Structure 1
């Protein structure tokens, strides 16, 4: 599915309109038109993401969001383009001032940016839902909840949904197309799980002192070998700090939230599909426009951190525990295909202790 091509076409349409409006072809006029087209496209992409949430019965984003949000990279200052969402004032609870929620991105017309907007608005709608609660309870039920909200919506961005909003043509359904789509998702979503866990395994070791400063890089690669089965191509001694290349490490952002979110999003997704009355294969479900699912979702979001996360999870899914069952159900077609492809082979790896002069860790893959 080539969403990027459709978004680029939308940008080119906005650029043509901006150029015609500018009435000049000099570099300054063209640059101004490009900026105008970039902003228009970024706002249209955000409006499309908003439409999904509104279709569930949730409110439109406040006017202050559109006035204060950073949609594209500004020209007058350096910014961190890493996408993020912000509740600036925790306004609500009967206060005269309304909520000031914003996202910060440097949006370009690509599929990755498009789905990222849906994810970031998940944070914003969570902020809006629990906004009336006292400040102490204005937060996610746990860190994983906050990250899973938007990702749950992304799961519902099925080919049929994308076709309904004009981003892709009608898709021919086939087993091959399903496997292809699921493999693409699994390569980013499922394979993320060991990575998501090892990041905080390393951070926790640093914090509790079990990983000493003179072992930072060695332990990083040992954990990568243990959980991911990967090793550096060349020797990486303690003069390097490879963990620092991951944004969240120097930014001191706890990472287990993303691991939890990868599992929770499938639990949320299944709960919302059930609430919408859907009965087909889980991977084909989209609850776009379903008010019953939206009402149940909003009720969960509105609880914020006002009760134990287990109770909040049970209200939406019927379960009190983290459960990877819905993820396995979602990827059942791919799992069945992989069993056939890997029949007779042993899959996995063994982590070997590094030699003194060798790379920090070796991981040997076994077919």
Structure 2
């Protein structure tokens, strides 16, 4: 509320100026940001309500726990598990439980390592029961208030307000066009992974031509598939880039992982983390209190205090996450000398991309070897395919999820999706765009989007889709600056001061210039648009390999072959279907009765004769 009061005061001051007539572009740009009030435009009582709802939803998410899986857990007649908070034994040897398992690290690790479909099904269902379902009504009210705030700022709804961060007309259509260009590569990956899962679990669990059940992909939301690399790796006997075992054998701690990430940044001539960062960051999950474990980076806006909050586990995935979060801090450090209004990413996707750009180099086999986490590395075709496949399970598998999350929210904000089809529309998108289906039936009593942090926390998500495109544009240009020759996927910009200088020039602009101009600086004027060509070039060898492996496989999926079919229907269609079924049943019964009566009138003689002759 203090920040909102301050923002409103500055907004009142800024709107007194005829700023659109200013001749200095930088000053005009400042005022264009200052005169958008955001949620502070709401009346004080509604602002307080919106803020309270947001905090309640985040608290529900952060405190959500479930029971440990046990085959003896009490089952309801529907076949679902009971989620009683009391532990007691029943006569039939089924038990209730006390929920004790939080998402981090327990459920995340279980989803990553379990290969028991029934356990995974239970974990998937239980988390959504605990984290998503309870906030459904609160979220609907939150949407109403968010839309009201957006309209007070001159936008049609909150979705349009979010899209305004990208400062271009037709942003929604541009994202759609980017996805259409990337979708064929994703479908090749999907077909190959589905075939491997069929080999593992059988067609009774994974349909050979249908969507993949979402609980089998190693992640609570099926957004990345890196945790099933062991089941799907193309050449099991060749080099793997998962250095989790090496990190643990060598005694790496979360702090050591952060120091390793920092050294990559400083090797480029970029900024070291300030001393306060090491003193005040939370890089391990505390044992004395509940926290939201979702990793995040914090700029306290005083030019000195920067922190990361992360419940770090010693594994490859968290090593990459550490680079990602430290990338946010590096961006914050590089634009700290800009006026306050410009201390932000050129667009939200730029901010998400910075750490991932460095992780593209830090994940290469040659780099991991150079820092002692991999032994001898060969440059064979098989090693290349293994590496690219592992990267694709992270980068390519994520793309449809990154795309569809805000497609759903934009529809909710606009009213195209309402309370009557809130959850079913979510699953229509998951099924149609991503090719995944839920392992259990879903209804409008559920709220599955709410089981993903960014929904209760109200964090826009299309930024991640944009970042996955732009990070490969960054990578291609930084590799040119570093003098790299050869395939793009083998590039490592480690210790290239020239690459670091180019990155500094782009990031230090902050938001002082439109992101299209920042992209033009990066590419030396060759383009100012988002471009999927670098990501397609990077994964080009893998795509060729996948196409050869997928001969005979269906590329894409048949929605009607999902293990759980009814999830694609809205409430309206379910009701319509039920009514039609009742009508059909009534007609059938009527026909049977009519036929029976006719039989009695015209067929008694035959009936009696048959009886007598028996």
TM-score (norm 2): 0.51
Instruction: Work out whether 1:8 is the aligned partner of 2:248.
Output: yes
Residue 336 of structure 1 pairs with residue 548 of structure 2 = no
- 2:551 and 2:394 map into 1 onto residues whose CA distance is 24
Match of 1:359 among 561, 566, 582: 566
For residues 337 and 121 of structure 1, what CA distance do their matches in structure 2 show?
Answer: 34
Of 419, 425, 428 in structure 2, the residue corresponding to residue 222 of structure 1 is: 428
Q: Which residue of 1 aligns with 2:555?
A: 347
Of 270, 273, 276, 1:61 maps to 273
The residue aligned with 1:71 is 283
Determine the structure 2 residue equivalent to 1:124: 329
1:176-255 to 2 correspondences below 5 Å: 176-255=382-461
Give the match for residue 365 of structure 1.
none
Whole-angstrom distance in 1 between the partners of 2:560 and 2:416: 20
Q: Output aligned runs, 1:259-270, within 5 Å.
A: 259-270=465-476
- Pairing partner for 2:507 from 282, 285, 301: 301
Contact 1:130–1:301 at 8 Å: present in 2 too? yes
How far apart are residue 10 of structure 1 and its match? 3.0
Deviation at 1:6, TM superposition (A): 1.9
Q: Matched residues in 2 for 1:315 and 1:194: separation? A: 29
Task: Tell me the CA shift for residue 352 of structure 1.
Answer: 5.5
Contact 1:226 1:350 (8 Å CA) reproduced: no
C-alpha distance in 2, partners of 1:314/1:101?
Answer: 29
Match of residue 316 from structure 1: 522
Matched, 1:115 2:325: no
- Please report how far the alpha carbon of residue 346 of structure 1 lies from its aligned counterpart in structure 2 after TM superposition: 4.7
Structure with greater helix share of residues: 2
Task: Provide the C-alpha distance between the structure 2 equivalents of 1:7 and 1:59, rounded to a whole number of angstroms.
Answer: 25
Match of 1:167 among 373, 387, 409: 373
Match in the other structure for 1:26: none
How far the C-alpha of 1:349 sits from its partner, in A, is: 2.8
Shift of 1:358: 4.9
Which consecutive residues of structure 1, in runs of 5 or more, have no partner in the other structure?
A: 13-40, 93-98, 363-367
Residue 298 of structure 2 aligns to a residue whose secondary structure is strand
State the shift of 1:276 in Å.
0.8
2:256 matched residue in structure 1: 44
Q: Distance in 1 between matches of 2:414 and 2:268?
A: 44
Q: Is the 8 A contact 1:148 1:264 kept in 2?
A: yes
Q: 1:233 to 1:107 in 2, by over 3 A?
A: closer
Task: Give the Cα–Cα distance (whole angstroms) in 2 for the partners of residues 59 and 286 of structure 1.
Answer: 19
* Farther-moved stretch of structure 1 (105-114 vs 256-265): 105-114
Q: CA deviation at 1:245?
A: 1.2
Structure 2 CA distance for aligned equivalents of residues 111 and 195 of structure 1: 22
For residues 249 and 289 of structure 2, what CA distance do their matches in structure 1 show?
A: 29
Whole-Å separation in 2 of the counterparts to 1:319 and 1:266: 14
Judged with a 3 Å threshold, the aligned counterparts in structure 2 of structure 1 residues 75 and 346 are, in CA distance, closer, same or farther, namely closer
What residue number does 1:139 align with? 344
CA positional deviation for 1:290: 0.3
CA displacement at 1:167 relative to structure 2: 1.0
Pairing 1:140-155 to 2, within 5 Å after superposition = 140-155=345-360
Q: Deviations over 1:155-208 (max 9, x none)?
A: 012111111111111212211111111112112211211111111011111111
Q: State how far apart, in whole Å, the 1-side matches of 2:560 and 2:406 are.
A: 22
The more displaced of 340-349 and 325-334 is: 340-349
- The answer (yes or no) to whether the contact 1:194–1:228 under 8 Å persists in 2 is yes
Q: Please tell me whether Structure 1 or Structure 2 has the larger radius of gyration of its CA atoms.
A: 2
Contact kept? 1:87, 1:127, Cα under 8 Å: yes
Q: Is the CA contact (8 Å cut-off) linking 1:140 and 1:304 kept in structure 2?
A: yes
Q: Shift of residue 59 of structure 1?
A: 2.0
User: Which secondary structure state, in structure 2, belongs to the residue aligned with residue 86 of structure 1?
Assistant: strand
Q: Which residue of structure 2 lines up, in the alignment, with residue 326 of structure 1?
A: 534
Question: Which whole-Å CA distance do the structure 1 matches of 2:561 and 2:317 have between them?
Answer: 38
Which residue is 1:91 aligned to?
A: 302
**Which deviates the most, 345-354 or 225-234?**
345-354
Change (3 A) 1:292 1:237: same
Shift of 1:332: 1.1
User: In 1, distance between residues paired with 2:334 and 2:259?
Assistant: 19
Structure 2: state its 5+ residue gaps. Answer: 1-240, 570-614
